[in-house]
Structure 1
């Protein structure tokens, strides 16, 4: 019997967002034929993560398709994992060097130039750990891009995105927003309306997913402790990087 890989995401309202998520799940499924790959959601779309855990059996790893720590989502996923001791939860996708590399690819695709001022834009972020993750994502993007990266969010204690764009204009160059979102949708529309000269597409833009993101998902799934070893302790565990 194949082991089960559960890819858990926020549901998407838009058809583009749903298509982008489905494209990633299908790409992972093609690359991991030794695994039964299923998707689950914490909101908006069905089935829920609790339903999938209840409907599946055997060793299972849940990979949160999140770019930073999300406390409510983490609680839902961990609670679902406690339904069965054979379920483990891996770290989320981000922040990670791979996402920074794809982010730079999106910058080039959008026509960003070396002298532009870059602002990494994220959704509303209120939890201290999530804020730290967004800051780390900006530092990784800066290292790969080779220049300073500012941070702006749509809500929370961090700098509001519109203010971050205004501050970036003080450098006298074009302002390019690097979208730190997994999928397109309303949040990306709000980011695009913040006044930057150029806004990149999300990491999943509706086309075939970048092979590096597919590999990152599988790396999380196969990270240390993500699968229960045969004959090992059946108690629930959280996988660590």
Structure 2
């Protein structure tokens, strides 16, 4: 029996964000022949993850569309999986080198230059594990970009984004915000209102999703489809 892939993340009220997420799910579906791929959400949009799991059967892998650890979402996904032995939760999408590579692509598309001061901004970090993930994502982005990257967080623990931007402006260079968000939404909009000289697009921009994001999501699912794999929480 083939494993059903449940692609799950936060919903959004943004039309652009919804379109980008739908495009990603459709691309995953096209590149996963023999597997049924369905989408689900933990909030804002429908269907809910709990409903999708209740209405399906057989082996299922939940692929979290999360760029860093999210305590509430991780707890929800693991609780849903705990009620059915055929449901497992794959690792989150980030942090990962693939996201850093796409982040640099967004910087280049936005016109970022080596002389700019780069600040990677995450919408939220709700605890020490999330902050560690965001910090690692910034280190990966720095390595691919080839220059220093500051870190700011809109909501939660870590350096408040206002402080990160103040430090960046002290360098007397143009400040470019690298948006560490998957798609347009409230978090991404908050980042866009920060007053930086340049703000990049989310990792899921307009048009077809980057093929590397599709491959990353499928790789997360395949980790749990491998024989003898031991599950690990996101």
Could you tell me which residue of structure 2 aligns to residue 238 of structure 1?
Answer: 231
Q: Determine if contact 2:20/2:207 at 8 Å carries over to the other structure.
A: yes
Could you say what secondary structure the match of 2:144 adopts? helix
How big is each residue's C-alpha offset from its partner over 1:58-82, in whole Å with a ceiling of 9 and x where there is no partner? Answer: 1111110000000100111011112
In the TM superposition, what is the alpha-carbon distance from 1:228 to its structure 2 partner?
7.2
Please tell me whether residue 43 in structure 1 is matched to residue 36 in structure 2.
Answer: no
Could you tell me which residue of structure 2 aligns to residue 203 of structure 1?
Answer: 203
The 1:48/1:228 distance shift into structure 2, 3 A limit, reads farther
Could you tell me which residue of structure 2 aligns to residue 158 of structure 1?
Answer: 158
Q: TM (normalized to structure 1)?
A: 0.93
Q: Which range moved further: 104-113 or 56-65? A: 56-65
Could you tell me which residue of structure 1 aligns to residue 71 of structure 2?
Answer: 71
> Using the alignment, how far apart are the partners of 2:105 and 2:90 within structure 1?
26
Q: Determine if contact 2:128/2:157 at 8 Å carries over to the other structure.
A: no
Q: TM (normalized to structure 2)?
A: 0.95
How big is each residue's C-alpha offset from its partner over 1:140-178, in whole Å with a ceiling of 9 and x where there is no partner? Answer: 000000000000011223111122111101111110000
Q: Determine if contact 1:59/1:228 at 8 Å carries over to the other structure.
A: no
> Using the alignment, how far apart are the partners of 1:189 and 1:179 within structure 2?
10
> Using the alignment, how far apart are the partners of 1:35 and 1:145 within structure 2?
36
> Using the alignment, how far apart are the partners of 1:19 and 1:33 within structure 2?
22
> Using the alignment, how far apart are the partners of 2:226 and 2:176 within structure 1?
44
**RMSD of equivalent CA atoms:** 1.7
Q: Which range moved further: 109-118 or 82-91? A: 82-91
In the TM superposition, what is the alpha-carbon distance from 1:2 to its structure 2 partner?
3.2
Could you tell me which residue of structure 2 aligns to residue 118 of structure 1?
Answer: 118
Could you tell me which residue of structure 2 aligns to residue 105 of structure 1?
Answer: 105
Aligned residues: 234
In the TM superposition, what is the alpha-carbon distance from 1:212 to its structure 2 partner?
0.3
Q: Determine if contact 2:70/2:126 at 8 Å carries over to the other structure.
A: no
The 1:138/1:228 distance shift into structure 2, 3 A limit, reads closer
